[in-house]
């Protein structure tokens, strides 16, 4: 709950208005797991509170640990479907990749989550629970909404979670510690930019609309040109960062022509490009035909998706840099436990 919601609870059970601030401190700063632990509330008030409410924290259902130290957690999600979050340690940083939906509606052809369909939105409580209930919660330094689901397709709950993460009465994090990744859903993207100061990451993956549509059907509804126009109107300067996420596939979108077109597309936009290695979808998941659907991809026939060679990725990065576009290659983490980009499926496995 937000502070305003806790004020409504206080009024409902006959506690003074300032009790909402006390409850918020117990929930988000002291991170209690029982109403009885809220010891500065009167005993009778705690009893009335416990009759109608619970803290709502749930421990992970399962945990998997990668050889590289990445940890993946399974949580109860929406409508009986489990969801996953991933904790990525990196020296003094610890980033949690949180989910916002069980499954996804966007049907991107390269994503395990998208191939399982959509099963429901997570509540703000289920989003915040991923942050508070993992064993490494206290050491987290950053949060990325890059797990299962399209965050802007569940914007109300995502905004409520961001408020709890950043408000002085909540976890009091700087918005600069939070990144929301999106395919560019409009007009929700405009609202996210207007109502928050979090970083934004746009999943692009091709500078050519027809080719992107074959990979990401949402291009038909939210065209790259409209999305970039929206981002150009946002305040992406010193305090807010804009990233472009670009998966590289061998022989599809990793040649100099694509690098040049991407640089032209981003000209004048203060964005950096994260080049992402492709992770092939594992067997045993949703049925995969191994091909990109939709129309022909800018002259390419439908073809199996394959990872771009490292040397090709480095050449692509260097060509973007030569155009004045800051580009880096994202390190793959947690691939051996299906925790890398595009592999989250919310499935029980040994």
Active site residue 58: no
User: Is a pLDDT exceeding 60 seen at residue 300?
Assistant: no
| pLDDT band, residue 280 (cuts 50/70/90) | confident
Note the pLDDT of residue 49.
97
What are the pLDDT digits (tens) for 168-217? 999 999 999 999 999 999 999 999 999 999 999 999 999 999 999 999 99
**How far lies 106's CA from each of 16, 129, 173, 184, 215, in Å?**
45, 24, 30, 11, 11
Give the predicted TM-score (pTM) of the model: 0.89
| Residue among 84, 211, 213, 245 flagged as catalytic | 84
Residue 302 has pLDDT above 80, yes or no: no
Residue 341 designated active-site: yes
pLDDT above 70 (res 295):
no
Per-residue confidence (pLDDT) for residue 333, from 0 to 100:
65
- Identify the pLDDT of residue 334: 59
Q: What is the pLDDT of residue 191?
A: 96
The overall average pLDDT reported for the chain is: 89
Confidence grade of residue 338 (pLDDT, cut at 50, 70, 90) = low
**Per the residue annotation, which of 97, 104, 108, 341 is the catalytic one?**
341
What is the average pLDDT across 310-324? 97
Write the pLDDT tens digit of every residue in 115-162.
Answer: 888 999 999 999 999 999 999 999 999 999 999 999 999 999 999 999
Average pLDDT of the residues in 16-26: 97
Give the residue carrying structure tokens 């509170």: 49
């Amino acid at each position: 709950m937000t502070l305003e919601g806790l004020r409504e609870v206080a009024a409902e059970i006959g506690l003074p208005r300032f009790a909402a601030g006390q409850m918020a401190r117990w929930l988000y700063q002291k991170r209690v797991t029982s109403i009885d632990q809220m010891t500065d509330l009167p005993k009778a008030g705690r009893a009335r509170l416990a009759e109608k409410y619970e803290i709502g924290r749930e421990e992970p259902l399962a945990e998997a640990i990668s050889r590289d130290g990445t940890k993946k957690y399974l949580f109860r999600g929406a409508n009986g479907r489990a969801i996953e979050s991933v904790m990525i340690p990196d020296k003094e940083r610890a980033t949690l990749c949180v989910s916002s939906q069980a499954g996804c509606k966007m049907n991107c052809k390269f994503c395990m989550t998208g191939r399982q369909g959509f099963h429901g939105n997570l509540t703000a409580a289920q989003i915040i629970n991923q942050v508070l209930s993992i064993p490494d919660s206290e050491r987290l330094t950053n949060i990325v909404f890059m797990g299962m689901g399209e965050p802007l397709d569940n914007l109300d709950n995502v905004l409520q979670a961001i408020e709890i993460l950043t408000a002085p009465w909540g976890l009091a994090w700087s918005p600069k510690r939070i990144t929301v990744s999106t395919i560019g859903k409009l007009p929700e993207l405009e609202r996210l930019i207007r109502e928050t100061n979090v970083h934004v990451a746009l999943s692009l993956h091709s500078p050519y609309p027809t080719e992107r549509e074959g990979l990401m059907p949402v291009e038909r509804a939210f065209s790259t040109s409209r999305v970039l126009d929206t981002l150009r109107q946002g305040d992406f300067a010193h305090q807010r960062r804009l990233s472009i996420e670009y998966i590289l596939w061998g022989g599809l979108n990793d040649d100099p022509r694509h690098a040049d077109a991407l640089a032209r597309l981003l000209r004048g936009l203060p964005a950096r490009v994260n080049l992402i290695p492709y992770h092939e979808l594992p067997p045993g998941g949703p049925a995969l035909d191994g091909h990109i659907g939709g129309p022909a991809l800018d002259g390419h026939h439908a073809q199996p998706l394959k990872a771009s060679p490292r040397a090709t990725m480095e050449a692509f990065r260097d060509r973007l840099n030569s155009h004045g576009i800051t580009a880096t290659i994202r390190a793959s983490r947690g691939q051996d436990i299906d925790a890398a980009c595009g592999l989250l499926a919310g499935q029980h496995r040994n």
